[in-house]
């Protein structure tokens, strides 16, 4: 099996927050190949996981907001550029009266 494939799978697990704490603990306790793990040997791995989670969350949030804005603009184009399609009848009356 590919160690690169396993690494990508682990990063995917961390990005989806499924079992990421165990993966983080294994990474922090890891040593060279062929040596037994020692508790908190690589404490700098905490920084890696914090950075990965923050940057991954930021990317996902931006992607989600981008999709929402794109769909909003698409609906606005379909309505002829008018924002009135999102208003109730009372809001339309108030909006037209305040012009």
Per-residue confidence (pLDDT) for residue 67, from 0 to 100 = 93
Q: CA nearest 14: which of 44, 55, 42?
A: 55
pLDDT in tens, 6-52: 988 888 888 888 888 999 999 999 888 889 889 988 889 999 999 99
- Alpha helix (H) ranges present in the chain? 3-15, 20-29, 45-78, 89-97
Question: What average pLDDT does the segment 70-89 reach?
Answer: 79
Average pLDDT, the chain: 86
């Amino acid at each position: 099996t590919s160690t690169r494939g396993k690494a990508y799978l682990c990063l995917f697990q961390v990005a989806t927050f499924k079992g990421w704490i165990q993966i983080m603990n294994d990474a922090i306790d890891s040593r060279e190949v062929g040596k037994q793990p020692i508790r908190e040997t690589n404490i700098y791995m905490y920084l890696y996981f914090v950075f990965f989670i923050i940057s991954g969350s930021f990317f996902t949030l931006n992607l989600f907001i981008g999709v929402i804005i794109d769909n909003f603009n698409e609906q606005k184009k379909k309505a002829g550029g008018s924002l009135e399609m999102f208003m109730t009848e009372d809001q339309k009356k108030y909006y037209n009266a305040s012009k």
